Amino acid sequence: MKNFVGFFILKCPKKSIFLGQIKTVKSVKEKIKSDIQLGNKGKIVLPSDFEIKYGVENTKKSLLRLTNEGFLERLARGIYLYPERDELLGVLYPDIETIAEEIALRDNARIIPTGLQALNLLGLSTQVPLNVVFLTDGSPRTIKIGKRKIKFKKASPKNLAAKGRLSGLAIQALKEIGKEKVTKEEIAKIKEQLKKEEPELLYHDMKLAPSWIANIFGDLLMYYYE
């Protein structure tokens, strides 16, 4: 038997190398699986989490195999989910902003929610948009996540220069509503949210906003310094 095995390796060197590669990839796959299981279900998994440790190709093949086995779910190119499942609802997806932030982190890009998403995050709307638009300084693209879509829209640096999360959201929300349509109640709600923002961030972002929005920020700053 020993002579036979030696003959196989000698006569079929390519086959021998191929089998060795399969064994290596499988080993990496199990290591990546163990690494993922250390975290909570429902988290986003990116190839970049493992590429330095295991190599680009081994990581790519391992994540593909883990997806085919049902351990992971592919959300989009290079974006995977370690799924949490409910007996009735099936896979419980993370909120759309978490997914977008992970994509932006992978691409080393800045993003900011716009439109209905900004209104929703500020408590000005209970409507959950199916198609969410984010301004970005990264590549423009549209990514489908289940029945929803994330659109990354290229924006000028000024539109992404807000330092405060809440003040940046407020600018986008007020732009969505419009100067002529915004109500006193909506302005009051936005001001309540902006009271959680640091005054220096509010002052910085005020200078980036249209004048009518800057006036709303200015009213709030007067509240701080009375």
Residue pLDDT, tens place only, 147-197: 888 999 999 999 999 999 999 999 999 999 999 999 999 999 999 999 999
Tens digits of residue pLDDT in 29-80: 999 999 999 988 999 999 989 999 999 999 999 999 999 999 999 988 888 9
18 has a pLDDT exceeding 60: no
> Hey, what are 200's tokens?
């220096």
Tell me what the pLDDT averaged over the chain comes to.
86
Pairing mode of beta strands 43-45, 79-82: antiparallel
Evaluate if pTM is beyond 0.95.
no
Please give the distance of CA 133 from its chain centroid, rounded to a whole number.
Answer: 12
Residue 24 vs residues 21, 65, 81, 125: alpha-carbon distances, Å = 5, 13, 24, 51
Q: Residue 5: pLDDT band by 50, 70, 90 thresholds?
A: very low
11 has a pLDDT exceeding 60: no
Q: Where are the beta strands (DSSP E) in 56-198?
A: 73-76, 79-82, 84-86, 90-92, 111-113, 131-136, 141-145, 148-154
Pairing mode of beta strands 84-86, 73-76: unpaired
In the block, tokens 């199990």 appear at 30
